[in-house]
Amino acid sequence: ETVLTQSPGTLSLSPGERATLSCRASQSISSSYLAWYQQKPGQAPRFLIYGASSRAAGIPDRFSGSGSGTDFTLTISKLEAEDFAVYYCQQYGSSPRTFGQGTKVEIK
Amino acid sequence: QVRLQQWGAGLLKPSETLSLTCAVYGGSFSGYYWSWIRQPPGKGLEWIGEVNHGGGTNYNPSLKSRVTISVDMSENQFSLQLSSVTAADTAVYYCARGLVTMVRGPMGVWGKGTTVTVSS
């Protein structure tokens, strides 16, 4: 099983600042089969990024993903009020699919 | 636009079987991977398993002995059964659809979630 470790656990930032979230895998993820999701309280996760760096339909270009192998990053270039949430990475290159434990982006 | 509507019993007693159904509206059912995911209160996401376009299933080893995922193509629905539940199975359960057909990709469309509580 591929274990995903996200860091930091919590990121305290102000609107307009840049957010950098990390996701590290216990083994190389084939074909960069890495996705990112955003979740707000009481809501289902929202699909953001697939293939490590491709944005899902309708996702603003302030969200970008990068990385390969075992190290991946989600960057939010300038935080807006609606971006404060929990973010999860997920690998779908091997079974079972696994999620990271999440990074909470909170307002400083 | 595709929408997933899910339902099932919200309160179970220990040792009972959890049963949830997810119906697909506004989009094609065939060709996709369909998954169940759960989230215990205050915790992260856990993938339970999936059924693919050919009817094949794939389960998380941690739950495999208790899980069954099935499809009803005639009704555009798929279902989750989890047997012998305990308090540790208390969670919000989500159904989800793969991003594109014929590929085991990320989960691009999610249901709103069903809260299931296990308590005596």
Task: Please write the tens of the pLDDT for every residue from A31-85.
Answer: 889 999 999 999 999 999 999 999 999 999 999 999 999 999 999 999 999 999 9
Residues of B in contact with A101 (CB under 8 A): 44
A2–chain B Cβ distance below 8 A for any pair: no
User: What is the residue whose two structure tokens read 């949830």?
Assistant: B20
Helix, strand, coil shares of chain B, percent, nearest 5, are: 10, 50, 40
Instruction: Name the band, by pLDDT with cuts 50, 70 and 90, for residue B54.
Output: confident
Give the distance from residue A92's alpha carbon to the nearest chain B alpha carbon, in angstroms: 6
What tens digit of pLDDT does each residue of A5-23 get? 999 999 999 999 999 999 9
CA distance B31 to A74: 30
**For range B73-85, the mean pLDDT:** 95
Residues of B in contact with A45 (CB under 8 A): 45, 94, 110
CA distance B19 to B41: 19
Contact status of A30 with chain B (Cβ, < 8 Å): no
